[in-house]
């Protein structure tokens, strides 16, 4: 498990893609075939990168779908690991 809090993939999409390409959320959403509201929720970190969005980003030439999903997974796993969880013991192998 990562020792640091990974950034939300929406932050990466906002700062490293949209801002770097000087694209508005509306322009990017139109290009990716989604609504401005849908993309806005992702870049404002209220929703995650879905597999469909990951594929669309790859088709737009923005990294790979697997990389976007890996970023989303790392973020979600870190969040889950740092939420209160019930006490879980090891599962014993049965003989």
What's the rounded Cα separation, in Å, for the pair 58 and 73? 17
Which residue ranges form the domains of the chain, and what is each CATH number?
A: 9-78 (1.10.260.40)
Q: Which of 59, 82, 76, 80 is nearest to 9 (CA)?
A: 76
The confidence band for 2, taking pLDDT boundaries of 50, 70 and 90, is very low
- Dist. CA 70–CA 76, nearest whole Å: 10
Per-residue model confidence (pLDDT) at position 4: 83
Residue 85 DSSP class: -
Query: Tens of pLDDT along 74-89?
Result: 999 999 999 999 999 9
Q: What is the pTM of this model?
A: 0.86
| Strand spans (E) along 1-95 | none
Burial class (CB in 10 A: 0-12, 13-18, 19+), 58: middle
């Amino acid at each position: 498990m990562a020792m640091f809090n990974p950034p939300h993939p929406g932050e990466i999409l906002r700062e490293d893609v949209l801002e770097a390409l000087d694209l508005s959320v509306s322009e990017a959403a139109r290009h990716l075939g989604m609504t401005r509201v849908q993309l806005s929720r992702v870049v404002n970190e209220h929703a995650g990168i879905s597999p469909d969005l990951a594929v669309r980003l790859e088709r737009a030439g923005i990294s790979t779908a697997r990389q976007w999903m890996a970023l989303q997974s790392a973020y979600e796993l870190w969040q889950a690991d740092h939420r209160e969880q019930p006490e879980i013991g090891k599962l014993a192998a049965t003989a």
